[in-house]
Each structure stands twice: as C-alpha cells, then as structure tokens.
Amino acid sequence: MRVVKVPLGDRGYPIFLGSGLLSRLGTHCRRLGLGTRCAVITDRNVARHYGQATGRSLALAGFDPALVTVPAGETAKNLRTVEKCYDRLAAHRLERRSFVVALGGGVVGDLAGFVAATYLRGVGFVQVPTTLLAQVDSSVGGKVGVNLAAGKNLVGAFYQPRLVLADLDTLRTLPDRELRAGTAEIIKYGVIYDAALFRRLERDLLKLLRRDPGVLAAVVARCCEIKADVVGRDETESGLRAILNFGHTIGHALEAISRYGRFLHGEAIAIGQVAAARLSAQLTGLPEPDVERVRTLFHRAGLPTEIRLNARQRHRLSAAMRLDKKVQGGEVRFVLAERVGRVVTGRAVPETLIDQVLTGR
Ligand code: NAD
Ligand code: GLY
C-alpha cells in the first residue's frame, strides 16, 4: 500500500492506494472517530460489484451503513438526485457525526460530496474511487458539486474528504471505454506539470491500457502526488489550481451542449486538451512537434481529438463557455501550454481561433 498525503493542515488527509484495500475501509474509518451511522452513496453498476463488500467492511468495524444507489452516469449528477439522497439520509437518521462514503467514479464522488457538504450543514465524507479518473483526480482535492442544464458543475462547494481509499483491484471490472476516458486526466498531468510523466506515458501507454498492475500503481500514485501538491498550495483555486483545468473550458462546454449524454467527461476533455494545445502553439509558443505529441498520445489512448460543429452548435458552445467558472468580466480564460510540463493560466483567446482548432484545420 502507498500513502500520499494531501497537505491541508488540520483538514489534511491521506490517500491510501493499493490492492485489496476495500476490505479495510471500515478499519480506516474507525480511526477517524466518526459516529456509527453512515451512508454509502453509489451507482447501480458499482453497487452490483462492490456494494456488499463495502457494507460488510463498514459493518464489521461497527458501523451501521445504509446503501443509497443512484442511476449511473453524468445525467444523474443533478439537484434532483441530490434531493433523493437527502431523503435517504434522513430516513436512516444520519446525525452531525455521521458520514457519507462515495463509492464509485467521479459522478458519485462529486454528487455524494455535495450531499455530505450540505446535509446538516456538513457531515463527514470519505472517498472510495473506483474509476481510473476518480482515482487519479476527482476523489482528491475537495471539489464537489452537480450540473445544471446550463452548465457543468455550476453548483458546488470545496469540501475535503477525511480520507481517500483507492483500491486498484476495483479497476479490473471497469469497462474499457471508461479506462480510456481516465487516461485523459493522466495525460493532463503530464502536459501541465510533469514532462517525465508524459514521456513515461508515451512509453508505457499500452501497459496502462492493459491494466498492468505495476504501471497502474506507479502512474496513479504519481498523479495523486501532483494533485495533492497543487491542492495543498491552492485549495480554492485562487491561482495555481487553475492549471488543473487545462482542456476543461472547451471540454465542459461540449458536455453541456450535448446534454451530458454523448461524451464521457474524459472524452470531452481529450478534445478540449488537443484544442488547447493547438491554441498554445499560436498564443504561447508550444512547439508544433509537442502539439503533435499531445494529439498522438490521446489518439493512441483511443480518445477523440477533434470535432466538427455546425453553426448552431458553435453558437451553443460559445454560450456554454461563457458560463464557465473561469470567465472573468465576460471573457473566457484558458490554460495554455508553453511546453510539455509547463502551462500558464488566465489567457484570453479570440473566439475565431476556437472553431479552427477544434476541427484541426
Ligand atoms: P462515472 O462516475 O460516471 O463512472 C463511469 C462509469 O463506470 C459509470 O457507469 C459507473 O457506474 C462505472 N463504474 C465505476 N466504477 C466501476 C468499476 N470499478 N467497475 C465497473 N464499472 C464501474 O465517471 P468518471 O469518469 O469516474 O467521473 C466523471 C465525473 O468526474 C464528471 O462528472 C467530472 O465532472 C467529474 N470530475 C470531477 C473532478 C473533481 O475534482 N471533483 C475532477 C475530474 C472530473
Ligand atoms: N479537476 C480540477 C480540480 O480539481 O481543480
């Protein structure tokens, strides 16, 4: 087992990473000194695979868990689902010292975290991520929230978990398309922060996609270290943390205009990152060969790198980008790369360039 610490003072917490960890969830929770009653919020797919084992581990440690199951997928990440969860928490009589366990991918993590942040003005929160994307990114750092029809993650909070337990064994049942989507956030860390990680991915991508345990463990741990470092230095995104949004302005807008049903998050941000790399070549000096390295890596991961939009879709995309949380004074701001491993934030981009880079023309 590896342990990565998220350094946030008295709100700091450990990320436990390794094989066979799910059965030890109850023991780890016990050490937090929380109340007995708790709720495991999960989705239907994950409940089928890991609901029982999670409940058993908590019960054996003396907890009284309720299993709250929501529909799977991005379309369930909304306020209606939040309200249903509140009702279940009330029925199980959760108290201030109770806690919520998010068992699943980023959708469940963001949703359950928002429920935990707001129910009784905040109960304890534990992340048990079961997708590659959630293990390398969404379970760490405390961004929780839900979508509105108008835009992604427009309602939310910063609310840190008390611990993150990432059992790499759970990735064995993850569908291939979801595993590929998770690599989009991993490639992102290479582009924004760690050129050596990017080179490693160029070398070991196939092993990662084949779920080689050694490569998975090392790569997931490195991503968690990077995220922990960034969040530790800028918890609420007043500066540095914005680098994590590379490719997300376009990606989030694509998800919103397709009503969260066409692209997985990882797929949408793959298109967004390739577009951001092309913008970077024009605006921040990213060398053309590096743009091609970025595009090739996403392509090899089986992720989309371009999209053609008609005039109506382009109009809707730019309206959705204006609702992005990174907008300042009505102007959309981008994270752009200067080279692989180094980015700058807050760059204004002329709108005419955006369509051009989305289609690769
Ligand atoms: P997801 O939560 O929808 O999970 C993907 C699919 O895999 C679902 O159908 C789920 O049921 C299934 N699944 C999950 N674990 C499984 C397993 N071990 N075996 C079999 N099936 C499994 O999607 P995701 O890609 O994990 O997360 C995407 C979400 O994360 C988006 O909403 C995105 O906005 C959010 N996100 C949040 C942050 C953050 O910092 N909070 C960061 C990145 C992404
Ligand atoms: N995934 C963006 C962030 O955590 O800030």
359 or 188, which is more confident? Answer: 188
Ligand 1 centroid to residue 260 C-alpha, Å = 13
Query: pLDDT tens across 243-302, in order?
Result: 999 999 999 999 999 988 889 999 999 999 999 999 999 999 999 999 999 999 999 999
Ligand 2 within 6 A of 137 CB? Answer: yes
pLDDT class for 206, splitting at 50, 70, 90?
very high
DSSP 95-157: -TT-EEEEEESHHHHHHHHHHHHHGGG--EEEEEE-SHHIIIIITSS-EEEEEETTEEEEEEE
The pLDDT tens digits for 261-277 are: 889 999 999 999 999 99
2-173 belongs to CATH 3.40.50.1970: yes
Is the pLDDT assigned to residue 219 strictly greater than 90? yes
* Measured distance CA(78)–CA(107) in Å, rounded: 10
Cβ atoms of 102 and 52 closer than 8 Å:
no
Nearest residue CA, atom 3 of ligand 2? 244
Domain range summary for the chain, segments of one domain joined by +: 2-173, 176-359
Which tokens go with 326?
């990174």
The band of 67, judged by pLDDT with boundaries at 50, 70 and 90, is very high
DSSP secondary structure, 217-271, as one string: HHHHHHHHHHHHHHHHH-TT-SSGGGGGGTTHHHHHHHHHHTTTTSS-HHHHHHH
Give the CATH H-level superfamily of domain 176-359. Dehydroquinate synthase-like - alpha domain (1.20.1090.10)
Q: Is the CB of 167 under 6 A from ligand 1?
A: no
- Mean pLDDT for the stretch of residues 1-8: 98
For a pocket test of ligand 2, which of 135, 140, 245 has the largest count of ligand atoms closer than 8 A to its C-beta? Answer: 245
pTM of the model: 0.97
pLDDT at 151: 83
CB 191 within 8 A of CB 198: yes
Segment 76-101 shows an average pLDDT of: 98
pLDDT at 81: 98
User: Is the C-beta atom of 143 inside 6 A of ligand 1?
Assistant: yes
Q: Each residue of 117-175: pLDDT tens digit?
A: 999 999 999 999 999 999 999 999 999 999 998 888 999 999 999 999 999 999 999 99
Residue 305 dihedral angles phi and psi, to the nearest 5°? -120, -10
Ligand 2, atom nearest to 227 Cα = 4
